Structure 1
Amino acid sequence: MVIKRGVPVLIAVFLGILTLLGLVVPLPEVNRIVLNWASFIAAAALLLGILNLFNVHSRRLFKERNLYSGVLILSMLAVFALAITDSPSIAITENGVNTIFKWVQAPLESALTALLAFVLLITGFQMLRNRRNGYAFLFLLTAMLVLLANVLTVLTLVPAPVRDIVEQFRRLLEEVVVTAGMRGILLGIALGTITLSIRLLLGMERPYNK
């Protein structure tokens, strides 16, 4: 039992120290080997995730008659078939995967992003109704100002001087307020990553045993 628990810890600590030395000391060969290992493991994990997703939704389709699972399976098979036919050795289709991405995935992402903006606005109203404090009011005010600025900058009915002022205000919000918030979040993520890395190197955190 001790060996079973200790071997993953030793492997994780060894690879972690090796990666750290690769960042501190110039070791191009070691960096290349570790990068190849990481690429192979990531590709294998992605393949296992795709197979597991296909298996789960196949059972949902045949047992629960879930139409959404059927759409997902058909989409996966279609993209996989297009990736095969796009390959240079077969060359039946040309840029089929890029066409799917351009005319299907990109419009869906844009629609979901637009929907997310309205969801955030509704969430701001609900937050202000449940918690009437300064943070809720600031969140709602910022969301409304950003949405209003984005709408006014694309409307042709608005005079050009007004659009320029609104555009400058929107840039001020994005470059000062939004950037400050993003920097705070990124600093928190960096500190959390450093803490987790130290715990992994010391063997205190063992996600590979779960």
Structure 2
Amino acid sequence: MALAVGCGLLTLLGLMFIPELGDALTTWASFLAAMALLVGVVNLLSVHMRRLLKGNAYSGLLVISILAIFALALTDFFELTTGGVSTAFGLVQAPLEAAMASLLVFFLLFAGFRLFRRQRNGWSVLFIVTATVILLGSTLLPEALSGIFGQASRFLSDVFVGGGMRGLLIGISIGTIAVALRVLTGSARPYDK
């Protein structure tokens, strides 16, 4: 408990009163985060190497992917290539994001139609209309329709989604402050006791 209180007070001093201490803490945090990432990657690699030896082919694919990205990072580091990791990230991440977004839209509209079939009230109609406007606002449509749906989609996103996001962020902030105060005062109990 004393260690947690000491670290919390040291961080508070670094952020509020001693900027040099804050810079040193930021450097330490970056180093610790890099080491934690390295330990996580090594652990992931060792777990999947064991699974690969047991005959799991998908673990082999993951091991090959990790080694390929590591090789690309080395070629970028030694300036044999430029942007290899970011190119590979873009070629993998962008299609995955598009696939996840399309699945989300499909299930959102499917859930809306199921809701409308079970409960025919104003809220279900509002849900379907809003989901449809957001969907049509983010797709490629002819110029006349694209402007109308794009403006409506931006309005819905800015006003209603923005308000919901602010509420969520305020709740997360209050919860984080409450947990931080419990840890700093030592009133948080570990799960094993």
| TM-score greater than 0.5 by the shorter chain | yes
Task: Give the C-alpha shift of residue 198 in structure 1.
Answer: 0.4
Cα distance in 2 for partners of 1:17, 1:136 equals 50
**Could you tell me which residue of structure 2 aligns to residue 119 of structure 1?**
107
For 1:1-210, what aligned pairs fall within 5 Å after superposition? 9-25=1-17, 27-63=18-54, 65-88=55-78, 91-126=79-114, 138-151=126-139, 154-156=140-142, 160-205=143-188
Deviations 1:94-149 (A, max 9, x none): 32212212223322222222222223333444556677776665444432321122
Alpha-carbon distance, 1:206 to partner = 5.4
What CA distance in whole angstroms lies between the structure 1 residues aligned with 2:168 and 2:122? 20
Amino acid at match of 1:10: A
- Higher RCO (Cα < 8 Å, 6 or more apart): 1
Kindly state the Cα deviation for residue 76 of structure 1 after the two structures are TM-superposed.
0.5
The one-letter amino acid of 2:59's match is S
DSSP 3-state at the match of 1:93: coil
5+ unaligned residues in a row in structure 1: which ranges?
A: 1-8
- How many residues align? The count is 193
TM-score, structure 1 as length reference: 0.79
Q: CA RMSD in A?
A: 2.6
Identity of aligned residues (%): 50
The one-letter code sitting in structure 1 at the alignment partner of 2:48 is H
d(CA) in 1 for partners of 2:42 and 2:22?
30
Comparing 118-127 with 130-139, which one deviates more in the overlay? 130-139
Aligned CA distance change for structure 1 residues 52 and 136 (closer, same or farther; 3 Å): farther
Q: 1:39 to 1:196 in 2, by over 3 A?
A: same
What is the one-letter code of the residue matched to 2:155? L
Cα distance in 2 between the residues matched to 1:110 and 1:37: 36
Give the TM-score taking structure 2 as reference length: 0.85
Distance 1:15 1:80, change over 3 A: same
Distance in 1 of aligned mates of 2:33 and 2:190: 16
1:123–1:56 Cα change, 3 Å: farther
Q: Which residue pairs with 1:5 in the alignment?
A: none
Q: Which whole-Å deviations, capped at 9, do the CAs of 1:31-74 have from their partners, x for residues lacking one? A: 122212212221121111111111222222221x3332221111
